Homo-oligomer: A and B are copies of this chain.
Amino acid sequence: MALPPKKTSSTSPSAVSMADLARELGVSMTTISRALSDHHSIGAATKQRVLKLAKKLNYQPNHLAAALRRGQSRLLGVVVPYIEGKFFPSVIQGIEQAASKAGFSVIVCQSHENVELERRNVETLLNAQVAGVLVSLARNTQEFHHFDKVRSRGIPLVFFDRIPAGEQVNSVVLNDHEGALQATRHLLEQGCRRVAHLAGPQHINIYRHRRQGYLDALAAFGIAPDEALIDYSDMTTEDGAAAMRRLLALPNPVDGVFAAGDSAILGAMQLLKSKGISIPRDIALAGFSNEGFTAITEPRLTSVDQRCEEMGEAAVRLFLELAAAPHAPFAQRQVVLQPELFVRESSLQRQP
């Protein structure tokens, strides 16, 4: 019996490699590699021997080496504006689930709504040799050259939720138009006749579509749009309160508000309550995103749910398809998910 130079010396930083297995078994490294990666050209018996020894010696593959050799890792890079709130964590959750199922790990970067950081994040991910990049754009990203390098290296690039304007890209988005349409229609069905809209920056697809959904719902009810009832902002809670204050000062008062985001509608709600205005009796409210806090305000807030996890899963599925087709056709793929309106007390019983 061969005397092992070192057994498991407790502070052995070096793991067991394929070479070790090969030596131990008296076969070549090729055989080991094939056995471990389930290659077809390998004898069943040999494979078993290798697998057994690998388990016994607790062999751990060095993914770095494999990635270097193959020119690509099993890492999936994700860039999001932020991870607070409910939306992005849930999307990431969906991504992780789907990615892990396909044998990929996920590395998440935040752009903090800052193009410059977004640019650096993309560099970081490329340096890590990620196999793919999934992005939801920062608020102020209006120029997209930092993604050229991703494409030119042939790395699958998928945008989700906030996608580039006027570009042909692979994307997964919610049908924001439909969500806004449903929410606004719901307010109208509850008896509202002067519905205001708290809109986000219009260079961002989601906010543009939500505004259009709002307008189309009005049109369907034969109501003429009124720009005075549309407030444009960054949709923070403060923005929502300020907008509400402005709307209250209007000669002809509003009786409903649909906001393109939950923070804004929260701000509006807080202002209304501070003024003693009843919700939904005097003014009905509906938001967008179905954030966690919509269920704890009083009254609870009606809001459009965004199918967060589905979005993450869909983004990964799209990535996998792109990765499977090395020199993919020029056509970029779009996936559109259907929203769901969660009706709560902030918008109910307007017409008894």
> In chain A between 92 and 119, which residues have their CB closer than 8 angstroms to a CB of chain B?
92-93, 96, 105-110
User: Could you tell me how many residues of chain A have their Cβ less than 8 Å away from some Cβ of chain B?
Assistant: 65
Q: Chain B CB within 10 Å — which of A61, A123, A128 has the most?
A: A128
Contact B89 A5 (CB under 8 A): no
Are B1 and A60 closer than 8 Å at their CB atoms? no
A59 CB to closest chain B CB (Å) equals 12
Q: Which residues in chain A, 9-66, are within 8 Å of chain B measured between CB atoms?
A: 10-15, 60-65
Q: Is A246 on the interface with B (CB-CB < 8 A)?
A: no
Determine the distance from Cα of A151 to Cα of B106 in the docked complex, in whole angstroms.
23
Give Cα A168–Cα B280 distance, bound, in whole angstroms.
56
Cα-based distance from A266 to B292 in the complex (angstroms): 13
Please give me the residue from chain B that is nearest to A144 by CB atom: B2
Residue on B nearest A8 in the bound complex, by CB: B152
Task: Decide yes or no whether A252 CB sits under 8 A from chain B.
Answer: no
A206 to chain B, nearest CB (A): 19
In angstroms, Cα B75 to Cα A270, docked, is: 43
Note all chain B residues with C-beta closer than 8 A to A338: none
Contact digits for A291-302, partner B, Cβ 8 Å, 1 yes 0 no: 011001110000
Q: How far is the CB of A157 from chain B (nearest CB, A)?
A: 10
- In the complex the two chains form, is B63's CB within 8 Å of A2's CB? no
| A148 and B2 contact, CB distance less than 8 A | yes
Q: Name which residue of chain B comes closest to A125, CB basis.
A: B105
> Which chain B residues lie closer than 8 Å to A13 at the CB level?
71, 152-154
In Å, the complex CA distance between A108 and B168 comes to 30
CB of A84 within 8 A of chain B?
A: yes
A168-B62 contact, Cβ under 8 Å, with A15-B153, A296-B266: no
A95 to B61 alpha-carbon distance, docked (Å): 28
A68: chain B residues within 8 A (beta carbon): 62, 64-65, 68
Collect the chain B residues with CB atoms within 8 Å of residue A152's CB: 5-7, 10-13
Residue of A5, A12, A71 ringed by the most chain B CB atoms within 10 A: A5
Contacts A68-B62, A110-B93, A129-B62 known; A11 to B154 CB distance under 8 Å? yes
Interface residues of A in 141-187 (CB under 8 A from B): 143-145, 147-148, 151-154, 166-168
Indicate if the CB atoms of A3 and B107 lie closer than 8 Å. no
User: CB of A271 within 8 A of chain B?
Assistant: no
Given known A65-B68, A166-B1, A296-B270, contact A124–B105 (CB-CB < 8 A): yes
Chain B nearest CB from A55 CB (Å) reads 14
A interface residues (Cβ-Cβ under 8 A, vs B): 1-3, 5-7, 10-15, 60-65, 67-68, 71, 73, 75, 82-84, 86, 89-90, 92-93, 96, 105-110, 123-124, 126-129, 143-145, 147-148, 151-154, 166-168, 266, 270, 273, 292-293, 296-298, 327
13 more contacts with CB within 8 A, not counting A1-B144, A1-B167, A83-B83, are: A1-B143, A6-B152, A11-B152, A13-B153, A62-B127, A63-B127, A64-B67, A75-B107, A83-B92, A96-B109, A107-B108, A108-B108, A296-B297
